[in-house]
A = this chain, B = another copy of it.
Amino acid sequence: MTHQIHTSPVASIQEERAKAAFQIRELTFLLDGGEKMTLLKERFMQEFERDPLFKMDDIHDISKDELRARTMEKFRSLVHHLSNEPIDIFRKRMECVSLIDPGFWTRFGVHCALQSNATSGQLGYWFEKGALSLTNMVGCFAMTELGHGSNVPGLETTATFDAASDQFILHTPTLTATKWWIGGAAHSATHAAVFAQLIVHGKCYGTKIFIVPLRDPKTYQTLPGICIGDLGKKMGRDGIDNGYIQFTHVRIPRGYMLMKHTRVLRSGHVIEPKLQQLTYGALLQGRVAMVVDSGHVSKKALTIAIRYAAVRRQFVRGDAKVETKLLDYPIHQHRLMPLLAQTFAMLFTGVEMTSMYLQMMDKLEHAKPGDADLEHVLEMLKETHATSAGLKAFCTWNCLSTIEACRQACGGHGYSAYTGLAGMYQDFAVQCTWEGDNTILALQLGRYLVHSYREAKEGKTLSPGVGYLNGLQQMLHQQCTAEQDAMGVSVIQEGWRVVCAHAVHAAALEFEACLSQGASVDDAYEQCSKSRLYAAKLHSYGYLFNRFLDAVHKVQSELKTVLMEVCLLYGYYTIEENTGAFLLSGYFTASHIQHIRRRLDQLCESVRHQAVPLVDAFNLTDYVINSPLGRSDGNVYVHYFEQVKRSNPQGPHPYFDRLIKPLISRNQYEEQDNDDDDEQAGLESMDEDEEE
């Protein structure tokens, strides 16, 4: 039976918008941090859309070489803004760019390293040379080596002080010491901020940063001793020219070492910093940025999948006249609504972490050994450092799987490059590895949790984030006492505290058992690494829920109703995803879990009716979304068809004469061209058999 249903996708999405139970614009302001910020973002989106250099609709069909050239053009256009607007406004602009074209955006390498590691004199020197305005120099950030990624202390490149000439000699001693993955090195950079082992008078002082000129800015010829190659094709982000660099006895002035922390004097005397922790700041910035980015990219992916699900219809249910919207299938609601809720959790967490980070950096900038509250600041720094490591890991993992889930939720069309999710996955995937491999970062948080547990056992009052480790014994026996009808957010909060306490406790017991069997501290940590990772995961999920809830509690407007519903959904979802942990902890019984599952079903269905208004509130323009399936007018098939036609104009057959003709006509003498035969096409006898 045919079901030739021509329900207009445009009408389908309008029907969804009509259901909005809140002021969409108000939610946009809330998410952006106020109307002013929304207007700024809208200004940026419009500027980029109209800038021919930021043309995005052909991005899937241009070659790596064209992409890279275009990146350089965009770079030129951005330098204009960098020189003409305040840095915080410029940062917002870059946030917008990274959503439009993540394949383009890379850190302004050297400049970032300079900010965190140069003395103010050095900063002035390099700014005058053109480091900020990108005149006469373009920088890159050269940390990773072929043989060493996450292990920075293990880097092999050396920077040996030559007292006679007052210079450092940069050298790549082995193949594995080759600087690798250096963004911008292949063709763009004139200078690199190089991480190398500082060696003075035969003694190694660990990795420091050195500014090394790579190319003559007038000709772009590489300088003597510099060997640079192109790393070529990557999974995504082909607009960036990643390269490798080998140094062969390259000399630089002593002053090219960045000396904000460790200093090497003319005599070769090395002065090491008193507060090693102060170098954490730069790491933190990258992690916070990636939590924020995970929220933003998830917004984009979900806008596509949810709008498409609101107009795509498949299968007729019962006696219905029209096919059912994907969004009306309970299973599709379960595929997308929890991810939508998780996106809100990541967005609110990103906001909170950004402000924590800024406060902390402000304190650290002015910290001196001996300050009264230094101890307190360093304690906070330790917690933020560990928490941000875990959040970077779990948020980038969440975002990557959100993109893939959204891609699969678009069915076959998710496999087209033009619908945008495939490229989004390819561009985002690297975030799980760079700035610290996710597994290693998560383990760092796990280590901090085990360490905190042991401090708590010794009577120390921990900072609030890990406060559940104080009074642990009680926590370990806590059971849910709420009636099923009253299982609201405070039950979820308590549940997460209990579950996290159990997980950290289990990891710590394993750790201590290893110690008592004579293992070293490091070995004991390795042995309990699976439990450590697990504790870190649960801690991070609990943290995300709590930040979401904090944000909702602050809301005074009518938005509170819908946000609280989304927050509850997120809470129940995280519990269901971790049913094993909640049952093992004894906090919930099987019947609590059943109840939570039912509530989750209901919430998925109810949030489904606000799904289109919620993604509308993300306020991303069609240009930024850059996917016909995510078009705000809902007219997905027309836009998709037009995009495909526009991107693939019909020309003469590309290889008929050369390849097909010799194949297909190789036996032409055998060809049958009998019309009579065609009309029957092998049916003759059959008709006779059966007609009577």
Contacts and interface: CB of A to CB of B under 8 A. Distances in A.
A76 B438 contact: no
A335 to B, nearest CB: 7
A522 B317 contact: yes
A1 B119 contact: no
Nearest to A437: B411
A666 interface: yes
A286 interface: no
Nearest to A691: B265
A469 interface: no
Contact of A136 (B150, B526, B664): B664
A681 B231 contact: no
Interface in A169-195: 173-176, 178, 180-181, 187-188, 190
Interface in A90-133: 118-119, 121-126, 128-130, 133
Contacts of A430: 412, 415
Given A263-B690, A584-B593, A233 B667 contact: no
Contacts of A412: 144, 149, 180-181, 430, 433-434
Interface stretch (A32-40, A367-375, A636-644): A636-644
10 contacts: A2-B197, A4-B156, A4-B173, A4-B174, A69-B659, A130-B664, A135-B665, A136-B667, A330-B527, A583-B583
Contacts of A663: 72, 75-76, 79, 134
Contacts of A217: 664-665
B679 A255 contact: yes
A415 B433 contact: yes
Q: Which of A75, A138, A269, A664 has the most CB of B within 10 A?
A: A664
Q: Which of A2, A414, A686 has the most CB of B within 10 A?
A: A2
A21 interface: no
A464 interface: no
A670 B523 CA distance: 57
A323 B151 CA distance: 10
A408 B440 CA distance: 12
Task: State the 9 A-B residue pairs at the shortest beta-carbon distance, nearest first.
Answer: A255-B681, A579-B580, A125-B682, A235-B422, A121-B682, A233-B417, A122-B682, A230-B648, A232-B648
Given A230-B650, A644-B232, A681 B314 contact: no
A520 interface: yes
Interface stretch (A43-51, A59-67, A476-484, A542-550): A59-67
Given A255-B680, A430-B415, A334 B235 contact: no
Interface string A396-428: 000000000001100110111110001001100
B677 A187 contact: no
A111 B685 CA distance: 22
B229 A645 contact: yes
Contact of A682 (B73, B119, B415): B119
A579 to B, nearest CB: 3
Contacts of A638: 175
Given A6-B174, A60-B233, A664-B217, A690 B271 contact: yes
Nearest to A397: B408
Contacts of A672: 128-129
A204 B1 contact: yes
Given A146-B637, A426-B422, A579-B580, A166 B679 contact: yes
In the assembly, how many copies of this chain are there?
Answer: 2
A18 interface: no
B666 A135 contact: yes
A563 B315 CA distance: 45
Interface in A130-169: 130, 133-138, 144, 146-151, 153-156, 158, 166
Interface residues of A, number: 175
Contacts of A137: 664
B190 A664 contact: yes
Contact of A522 (B69, B154, B318): B318
A529 B330 CA distance: 7
A52 interface: no
Q: Which of A526, A593, A658 has the most CB of B within 10 A?
A: A526
Given A129-B672, A691-B265, A138 B664 contact: yes
A68 interface: yes
Interface string A573-596: 000001111111010001001000
Interface string A1-31: 1111010000000000000000000000000
B138 A683 contact: no
A645 to B, nearest CB: 6
Interface string A224-252: 00000111111110000000100000000
B418 A135 contact: no
Contacts of A267: 691
A318 B314 CA distance: 60
A174 B231 CA distance: 47
A210 to B, nearest CB: 11
A134 B658 CA distance: 16
Contacts of A118: 682
Given A234-B422, A659-B73, A253 B681 contact: yes
Contacts of A660: 72, 138, 188, 220
